[in-house]
Amino acid sequence: MQADTNTTTNANANAMRPSHEGAVTRALAGFVGALRWSDIPPDVRHEAKRSLVNYFAVALAGAHDPTIEKAVGVYGRFRANERATIVGRNERMDMLNAAALNAMSANVFDFDDTHIPTIIHPTAPIAAALFALAECRPMTGEALLLAFVAGVEVACRIGNAVSPEHYQRGWHITSTCCVFGAAAAVAHALGLDATRTAWALGHASGQAGGLVETLGTMSKSVSVGNAARNGLLSALLADEGLAGPDAPLEGARGFLKVVCTQPDTSRITEGLGREWALLSNTYKPYPCGVVLNPVIDACLDLRRDARWTLDDIESVELLGHPLLRERTDRPGVRTGRESQVSAQHAVAVTLARGKAGLAEFSDAAVAEPALRAFGSRLRFIDDPSWPVEAAQVTLALRSGERIAHRVLAARGSLAAPLADVELVDKLRQLAAFGGSGVAPQPVADLLWKLDTAPDAAAPMRAAHAAR
């Protein structure tokens, strides 16, 4: 009875308000509610599967990280049941806590996917929410993929509307925007109409949070977990008839105007249903901030035929987009977590070791005195004309020689994407690193065939560690 009353009340309110109020929210909610599998082009369908292969790779890598170990212990005190899997672990949780923990696990090493140009990491929070739901409310693989596409579209379009100011003001854009993406994805999976999908977005608007100040700490992954959990919760509340505001996005005190002084709402609706955010999604070859990818590529190339040692280098110049300096000028990092967003560490360890894997961004690597001392030799040169996926590294040797290498399209970027086989290899390597004992190939096989699977939760069961 309460749901019917809320629906009637909301309908009356809709009839009395100005026709333009909430137009952006209604357009986005209408798109989500009406989206069908036949609307999704083949390349977008395939990209959705690629995103999920990468998601399970990074979630398996992080499953037993100390951050996740601590979080599982705390969240586990409040679990309502054990119906949902935690990737790479033998514990089970209720779907809200499982969504949070799986999103955290997939984000903890900063090895997750990246949407260009917002730098949102969309899959961890959105996929985590959907797979948790799929274990508790059966759905087909096609239904999950379709909901995932819808959720990524919502998150990245909202991110486009507030970029780049939103991040520059200190908001962690993955956490703030992906709570909307998770809410929209779950709303679609639940079959909510446009009105209730808008309510889900409204509930999400009151739970959007996350700060750039937390980068390099365990707190960053907590807010990513909240995006998954709170987005899932928002849609479940809307499904029960809990109504939300008319214009949670574009209202006078809505999300867009609170977190950005000049949001561009046209970027939410233009090309909706024709241009797809997933086609701008990329996958990292290195476990660090995406702006460091071209720097690491250049350092690897310089190191490959090196006739010098780290001690022979007097200084290093990094030429690139200002975002490179803004996000990675972090000397004197103390932990592996902090090193993921430190150019000083990334340059030093890559030049010293000739590789840039998870071991190179660990507490042990950060503690090496020679790598710590090297950071003072680094200098940034900003050039706004450079794209984010490009950089030049110049070594000034003590002999007076200067050696430079320029990367115009980093490995893993839109111009040089990782191939399907490379994503499966990443899954294989990270599954081994995570030490869960989960066999990666069955997970990959299930994901590549997910659009024809009768049970969307099958990959989660394959990723559950045996006791």
Say which DSSP state 39 is in.
G
Using alpha carbons, select from 316, 345, 387 the residue that is nearest to residue 119. Answer: 387
Using alpha carbons, select from 145, 230, 222 the residue that is nearest to residue 179. Answer: 230
Q: What is the pLDDT of residue 124?
A: 98
Question: Are residues 144 and 458 in contact, defined by beta-carbon separation less than 8 angstroms?
Answer: no
C-alpha span between 23 and 404 (Å, rounded): 51
Instruction: Pick 290-407's CATH classification: 3.30.1330.120, 3.50.50.60, 3.40.50.620, 3.40.50.880.
Output: 3.30.1330.120
Instruction: Measure CA 134 to chain center.
Output: 20
Q: What is the pLDDT of residue 22?
A: 86
Per the listing, tokens 């969504």 go with 99
Q: What is the pLDDT of residue 141?
A: 98
Q: What is the pLDDT of residue 358?
A: 94
- 201 three-class SS: helix
Using alpha carbons, select from 329, 330, 327, 318 the residue that is nearest to residue 294. Answer: 318
Q: What is the pLDDT of residue 467?
A: 65
Kindly give the residue spans of alpha helices, DSSP state H, lying in 305-439: 322-328, 336-339, 343-353, 363-366, 369-374, 420-434
Question: Are residues 86 and 56 in contact, defined by beta-carbon separation less than 8 angstroms?
Answer: no
Question: Are residues 389 and 414 in contact, defined by beta-carbon separation less than 8 angstroms?
Answer: yes
Burial, 61: exposed, middle or buried (Cβ in 10 Å; 0-12, 13-18, 19+)? buried
Q: What is the pLDDT of residue 11?
A: 41
Q: Please, which contacts does 81-84 make with residues 24 or more away whose CB atoms are closer than 8 Å?
A: 83/135, 83/136, 84/132, 84/135, 84/136, 84/460
What residue type is 287 in one-letter code? P
C-alpha span between 360 and 99 (Å, rounded): 29
290-407 matches 2-283+429-462 in CATH topology: no
Q: Please, which contacts does 256-264 make with residues 24 or more away whose CB atoms are closer than 8 Å?
A: 256/158, 256/161, 256/162, 259/162, 259/166, 259/169, 259/171, 259/176, 259/208, 260/161, 260/162, 260/165, 260/166, 260/169, 261/165, 262/165, 263/161, 263/162, 264/160, 264/161
Query: Which pLDDT tens digit goes with each residue over 137-149?
Result: 999 999 999 999 9
Using alpha carbons, select from 113, 161, 459 the residue that is nearest to residue 279. Answer: 113
Span 398-412, mean pLDDT?
96
Share of the chain above pLDDT 90, in %: 91
Residue 17 pLDDT > 80, yes or no? no
C-alpha span between 296 and 411 (Å, rounded): 10
Using alpha carbons, select from 92, 126, 97, 94 the residue that is nearest to residue 112. Answer: 126
Say which DSSP state 313 is in.
E
Query: Which pLDDT tens digit goes with each residue over 203-259?
Result: 999 999 999 999 888 899 999 999 999 999 999 999 999 999 999 999 999 999 999
Is the model's pTM score more than 0.85?
A: yes
Query: Which pLDDT tens digit goes with each residue over 179-205?
Result: 999 999 999 999 999 999 999 999 999
Query: CATH classification of 2-283+429-462 is 1.10.4100.10, yes or no?
Result: yes
Residue 466 pLDDT > 80, yes or no? no
Ramachandran angles phi, psi of 340, nearest 5°: -65, -20
Span 275-297, mean pLDDT?
96
Query: Which pLDDT tens digit goes with each residue over 20-58?
Result: 578 999 999 999 999 999 999 999 999 999 999 999 999
Residue 360 pLDDT > 90, yes or no? yes
E-strand ranges in 231-290 read 281-282
Per the listing, tokens 């001392």 go with 373
Q: Give residue limits of the domains in the chain.
A: 2-283+429-462, 290-407
What residue type is 340 in one-letter code? Q
| ∠ Cα 48 53 56 (to 5°) | 125
Residue 1 pLDDT > 50, yes or no? no
Q: Mean of the per-residue pLDDT values for the chain? A: 94
Q: What is the pLDDT of residue 20?
A: 59
**Residues written for the chain:** 467
Q: How confident is the model at residue 305 (pLDDT cuts 50, 70, 90)?
A: confident
Query: Which pLDDT tens digit goes with each residue over 108-129?
Result: 998 999 998 899 999 999 999 9
Q: What is the pLDDT of residue 327?
A: 87
Q: How confident is the model at residue 295 (pLDDT cuts 50, 70, 90)?
A: very high
Residue 306 pLDDT > 70, yes or no? yes
Residue 199: which residues within 8 A CB-CB, separation 6 or more?
10, 237, 238, 242, 243, 244
Q: How confident is the model at residue 87 (pLDDT cuts 50, 70, 90)?
A: very high
Q: How confident is the model at residue 3 (pLDDT cuts 50, 70, 90)?
A: very low
Say which DSSP state 466 is in.
P
E-strand ranges in 61-164 read 84-85, 92-93, 114-115
